A and B are shown apart, each in its own frame.
Chain A
Amino acid sequence: MADDRMLLAGGRVIDPASGKVRLVDILVEDGRIARVGKGIRARDAQRIDCRGKHIAPGFIDMHCHLREPGYEDAETILTGTQSALVGGFTRVCPMPNTDPPVDSEAMVRFQIERAEQAGYASVHPVGCCTRNRAGKELAEIGSMREAGAVAVSDDGDWVSDPRVMRRALEYAKAFDMPVISHCEYDGLSDGVSNEGLVSTRLGLRGKPWPSETAAAARDIMLAEFVGARVHIAHVSCAATVDLIRWAKLRRVQVTAEVCPHHFTLTDASLAGFDTNFKVNPPLRTEPDRLAVVEGVVDGTIDVIATDHAPHTSIAKEVEFDKARPGIIGFETAFSLGYEQFVLSGLMSPARYIEKLTLAPARIMGLRTPSVAEGTEAELVILDLKAQWTFSSAQIMSKSHNTPFLERTMQGLVVGGVLGEEHFWLLHAA
């Protein structure tokens, strides 16, 4: 529990909206930001020494899997939102591929309520595009919107029937919701890794890059034609980045995201058949990795999203072909992106934070993350110099499927404030 009054003193505050970093204090009262300014004096407030730290609005993850209902052995809304908060994500948008899938008002309400009961990161569900996620008939998108859904998607599968996708895009316009497309073209996606030298070497069935780009091309063209918003999930290859760049030039209402594993790793990691490197879409080649990095830097790719996808060890400790795709991502996303984009000198901290805050908020129609006076306190405290090693013992997610164990990274979310309920700060921070 936070004290009633708390002074975050001496930190550098990153405001992604203005791109400015200011050395100011923040006074939090009853879970709201009461004052932002230099040299605030508040004698009765708990003083949090933030010297040497940065403070930013809490992150938003617009693509994750919380597994509840249906797969509570891998993750629950409670453990998932705890893991999110530790990674700095104060708001998360879970994908609807649960069991049963989130394709109705009731299911949306259920997830939001569970998250409220849990009381960690808040949950803004993505509803199914089609009923039962079957790709045949539209789900009740309007009712789900009423209940609090922020986007629709059949994530995990592509909506392969072009008529259905067209109607979903059109229908969602009424609610100003994006349709999020998981781009993997049916007949080209019967594989477990990127199709290329590595799949040839290892004898793995490959998914060629046109599996993603061809699917994205269809959805972008449909979105342009019907004047709707489409969001391309987890872009993995160079050609898709080029396609989105082209579509943005045509003023198509297209946005896109990339996941930390796609900008950090390549299919070369598959050599030992470690199933923690198995993801959908697959890790691709170094030129693809460089292209998505470039896409983030030049703004073609709007958002960094985790695609946090917990799986039990039983689902991963199997043959590579049989392993479930996906890795957990909340707790490493910030650091991996910080290394890739900020430490490398490609982006300023503020621009990087924008990809984790303002950009997803804009796409999902969520309240603008800010550090302005009068708003609810939703802040993270960052130590951008901290070197840390990701260890199994510290994982908050219920699942441990990650290829980043034992990796040493720089930049760490050391604390945060979320409303009246939460204040945390790692020791030695």
Chain B
Amino acid sequence: MPRARTKPKRKPRKAAKPGGGRAKRAPARRRSKPEPYVPRLANLLGISQLAPADITAILDQAETFIEVLKRPIPVVPALRGKTVVNLFFEASTRTSTSFALAASRLSAQCVNFSIGSSSVKKGETLLDTARTIEAMRVDGVIIRHSMPGAAHFLSRRIKSFVVNAGDGCHEHPTQALLDAFTLRRRLGTLKDKRVLLVGDIAHSRVARSNILCFSKLGARVAVCGPPTLIPPHIEELGCEVFYRLDRVLYEVDVVNMLRVQTERISSSLFPSVREYRALYGLTAERLSELNTSVVILHPGPVNWGVEMDFEVAELPQALILNQVTNGVAVRMAVLYLLAGGQVGDTDTAETK
């Protein structure tokens, strides 16, 4: 490892890159129906960087891809010749496969940059990895990392676009977008809908992204869980806080269950699985008692019998598998827009 001191050549940070990847109103220059709003995203690091109109534009774009995915040959040539890299420091079959599929449906190549535990053990830092990827000249990088800010770190050091596929307990924006997309398809709109997130809010990147995303789309968001798993000042993100599920479940339109890790028991965050299930589990009894048609989401994988019973997932209002299907379309939309595509332009791209 080079121990020589490298003086950090600090360039003044470009406001346009990490946080400021937000769109400006672009002139609508469309052949068919004019689009009022075209996101110009440099990266997708978090929902916090998106304006409501950005979110809507991504979801609208995903609608067109849903149609594509229903075709006999569900592929468009929109990103032909482009290469994206899946850089997953945390194991995740679902998300990495979803991104890989999304890329291939757009005719882009998706390469897995496998992070051997060996290279990390050899002392390879994220900076080394960033520099390596930069030297390989790819169009985009999808990063999953156990530490908050890893995607921001990468985006400041490489020119290709960066998609945050989960950075520690910080954000998981594509999950929020696909959840919003799934709800919008089911409910028509999120405006004024009551959405309740239940479980380990403190350690959940899905919770953070979803609170922001749903609120930006006009939903009224609440969180529920044991106080030990609710982070301080969460209500300042614009959500209500409940500690008892039964006091709030009956009045919501959507319940978004979160995965709870039994490892949290050893850190004294809750006493037992039994008590957790009794207080916060989405059990069949709880649902039938409430006689409610509340829509159910879960980012998966589910701890059956802990936060949710298997029978609940079988109910028609449980959209867990729709989330997975929609995930591909939403990720297609994200990759497409980040690679410079125009909203609604897929068919044009197809005929090129």
A contact residues vs B (CB 8 Å cutoff): 73, 195-197, 199-206, 271-273, 312-314, 316-322, 392, 398-400, 405-406
Q: A313-B6, A313-B8, A317-B127 are in contact. Are A203 and B168 (CB under 8 A)?
A: yes
The stretch from B22-30, B71-79, B146-154, B303-311 touching chain A is B146-154
Instruction: Select from chain A the residue with minimum beta-carbon distance to B3.
Output: A73
Chain B interface size, as a band, is: 35 or more
Distance from A77 Cβ to chain B, minimum over Cβ atoms (Å)? 16
Complex Cα spacing A231 to B22, Å: 48
Report whether A201 and B208 are in contact in the complex, using a CB–CB cutoff of 8 Å. yes
The stretch from B98-106, B176-184, B227-235, B275-283 touching chain A is B227-235
Report whether B170 and A203 are in contact in the complex, using a CB–CB cutoff of 8 Å. yes
Complex interface residues of chain B between 133 and 147 (CB less than 8 A to chain A): 145, 147
Complex Cα spacing A206 to B170, Å: 13
Complex Cα spacing A196 to B167, Å: 19
Complex Cα spacing A57 to B208, Å: 52
B contact residues vs A (CB 8 Å cutoff): 3, 5-10, 12-13, 18-19, 48, 125-127, 145, 147-150, 152-153, 167-171, 205, 208, 231-234, 236-237
Report whether B127 and A318 are in contact in the complex, using a CB–CB cutoff of 8 Å. yes
Since A203-B169, A318-B127 are in contact, a sample of 4 more A-B pairs with Cβ atoms closer than 8 Å, ordered by chain A residue number, is A202-B149, A202-B170, A203-B148, A204-B148
Q: A73-B5, A313-B5, A400-B7 are in contact. Are A319 and B12 (CB under 8 A)?
A: no
Report whether B148 and A273 are in contact in the complex, using a CB–CB cutoff of 8 Å. yes
Complex Cα spacing A314 to B127, Å: 9
A201 cross-chain contacts in B, Cβ below 8 A? 48, 208, 237
Complex Cα spacing A319 to B149, Å: 7
Complex Cα spacing A197 to B168, Å: 17
Report whether A197 and B236 are in contact in the complex, using a CB–CB cutoff of 8 Å. yes
B126 cross-chain contacts in A, Cβ below 8 A? 318-319
A203 cross-chain contacts in B, Cβ below 8 A? 148, 167-171, 205, 208
Report whether B5 and A312 are in contact in the complex, using a CB–CB cutoff of 8 Å. yes
27 intermolecular pairs with C-beta atoms under 8 Å apart: A73-B5, A195-B232, A197-B232, A197-B236, A199-B231, A199-B232, A200-B231, A200-B234, A203-B148, A203-B168, A204-B148, A204-B149, A204-B168, A206-B231, A272-B19, A272-B152, A313-B8, A314-B127, A316-B8, A317-B8, A319-B145, A320-B148, A320-B149, A321-B148, A322-B147, A392-B7, A405-B10
A316 cross-chain contacts in B, Cβ below 8 A? 8
Report whether A319 and B147 are in contact in the complex, using a CB–CB cutoff of 8 Å. yes
Report whether A398 and B152 are in contact in the complex, using a CB–CB cutoff of 8 Å. no
Complex Cα spacing A147 to B333, Å: 69
B10 cross-chain contacts in A, Cβ below 8 A? 392, 400, 405
A195 cross-chain contacts in B, Cβ below 8 A? 232
Complex Cα spacing A400 to B152, Å: 21
| Contact count A vs B, C-beta below 8 Å | 89
The answer, among A272, A317, A321, for a CB contact under 8 Å with B168, is: A321
Complex Cα spacing A71 to B322, Å: 54
Report whether A202 and B234 are in contact in the complex, using a CB–CB cutoff of 8 Å. no
Complex Cα spacing A176 to B324, Å: 68
Report whether B127 and A273 are in contact in the complex, using a CB–CB cutoff of 8 Å. no
Complex Cα spacing A272 to B145, Å: 16
A197 cross-chain contacts in B, Cβ below 8 A? 232-233, 236
Distance from B225 Cβ to chain A, minimum over Cβ atoms (Å)? 14
Instruction: Select from chain A the residue with minimum beta-carbon distance to B4.
Output: A73
The 4 closest A-B pairs by CB, nearest first: A273-B149, A203-B170, A203-B169, A197-B233
Instruction: Select from chain A the residue with minimum beta-carbon distance to B6.
Output: A313
Distance from B312 Cβ to chain A, minimum over Cβ atoms (Å)? 28
Distance from B99 Cβ to chain A, minimum over Cβ atoms (Å)? 21
Q: A272-B18, A273-B153, A322-B147 are in contact. Are A406 and B12 (CB under 8 A)?
A: yes
B12 cross-chain contacts in A, Cβ below 8 A? 406
Report whether A202 and B148 are in contact in the complex, using a CB–CB cutoff of 8 Å. yes
Complex Cα spacing A133 to B236, Å: 41
Complex Cα spacing A381 to B350, Å: 71
Instruction: Select from chain A the residue with minimum beta-carbon distance to B207.
Output: A203
B153 cross-chain contacts in A, Cβ below 8 A? 273, 318-320
Distance from A199 Cβ to chain B, minimum over Cβ atoms (Å)? 7
Distance from B143 Cβ to chain A, minimum over Cβ atoms (Å)? 11
B13 cross-chain contacts in A, Cβ below 8 A? 272
B147 cross-chain contacts in A, Cβ below 8 A? 319-322
B234 cross-chain contacts in A, Cβ below 8 A? 200
A202 cross-chain contacts in B, Cβ below 8 A? 148-149, 170
A321 cross-chain contacts in B, Cβ below 8 A? 147-148, 168
Report whether A319 and B150 are in contact in the complex, using a CB–CB cutoff of 8 Å. yes
Instruction: Select from chain B the residue with minimum beta-carbon distance to A313.
Output: B8
B208 cross-chain contacts in A, Cβ below 8 A? 201, 203
Instruction: Select from chain A the residue with minimum beta-carbon distance to B125.
Output: A318
The answer, among B9, B152, B205, B233, for a CB contact under 8 Å with A273, is: B152
B19 cross-chain contacts in A, Cβ below 8 A? 271-272
A406 cross-chain contacts in B, Cβ below 8 A? 12
Distance from B45 Cβ to chain A, minimum over Cβ atoms (Å)? 10
Instruction: Select from chain A the residue with minimum beta-carbon distance to B267.
Output: A190
Report whether B148 and A398 are in contact in the complex, using a CB–CB cutoff of 8 Å. no
Instruction: Select from chain B the residue with minimum beta-carbon distance to A322.
Output: B147
Distance from B193 Cβ to chain A, minimum over Cβ atoms (Å)? 23
Complex Cα spacing A73 to B7, Å: 11
B237 cross-chain contacts in A, Cβ below 8 A? 200-201
Complex Cα spacing A313 to B148, Å: 19
B168 cross-chain contacts in A, Cβ below 8 A? 203-204, 321
B205 cross-chain contacts in A, Cβ below 8 A? 203
Distance from B122 Cβ to chain A, minimum over Cβ atoms (Å)? 15
Q: A201-B237, A203-B205, A392-B10 are in contact. Are A398 and B5 (CB under 8 A)?
A: yes
Complex Cα spacing A398 to B8, Å: 11
